[in-house]
Amino acid sequence: MAEPQQADCIFCRIARGDIPSTSVYETDELLAFLDINPVSKGHTLVVPKAHMEALFDMPSALGGPLIEAMKRVGAALMQATGAQGLNVVQNNYPAAGQQVPHLHWHLIPRFEGDGHEAWPQGSYRDAEEMNAVAAAIRERL
């Protein structure tokens, strides 16, 4: 669940100003700063100032301000870098590649032919398997 901040969390420490970041934008609720190991130059993280681990912990009321911030910062970083595209990526839990357990969105400038391939895509065995997966999801909504 959302908590004010955690002492040992690196993004909480950045939000408190205890450790430096290369900030590009800030609101009462959100911070945007450059990723220290960018996929491409301009790669930016958008981070709630309050500590929360994953998407499921985020108050829905933050959704509007978050989208506004991502659109604003995303447009600015595309212009600043000359990017032709932008990936918005958010990892939940270590199995999905989340290294920092404080919710954040990656804004990654993309360029034609930059070679950053998407995940390999697979297939379902048949329509029955696909329908069963969809039914299992629907049952839980």
Going by C-alpha positions, the residue among 56, 141, 66 that lies closest to residue 107 is 66
Cβ proximity of 69 and 28 under 8 Å: no
Task: Decide: is 104 part of the binding site for Zn ion (CB under 5 A).
Answer: no
- Tokens 């299992």 identify what position? 136
Nearer CB in complex with Zn ion: 6/92? 6
Residue 3: CB minimum distance to ligand AMP, A:
18
Interface residues for ligand AMP in 2-31 (CB under 6 A)?
10, 21
- Tokens 């039914």 identify what position? 135
Residue 76: CB minimum distance to Zn ion, A:
25
Going by C-alpha positions, the residue among 10, 8, 43, 44 that lies closest to residue 26 is 44
Nearer CB in complex with ligand AMP: 32/45? 45
Please indicate whether residue 106 is annotated as part of the active site.
Answer: no
Q: How far apart are alpha carbons 104 and 53 in whole angstroms?
A: 9
Task: Decide: is 100 part of the binding site for ligand AMP (CB under 6 A).
Answer: yes
β pairing state of 44-48 and 85-89? unpaired
Nearer CB in complex with Zn ion: 43/104? 104
Question: Which residues contribute to the site for ligand AMP (CB under 6 A)?
Answer: 10, 21, 35-37, 45, 91, 97-100
Q: Which residues are catalytic?
A: 104
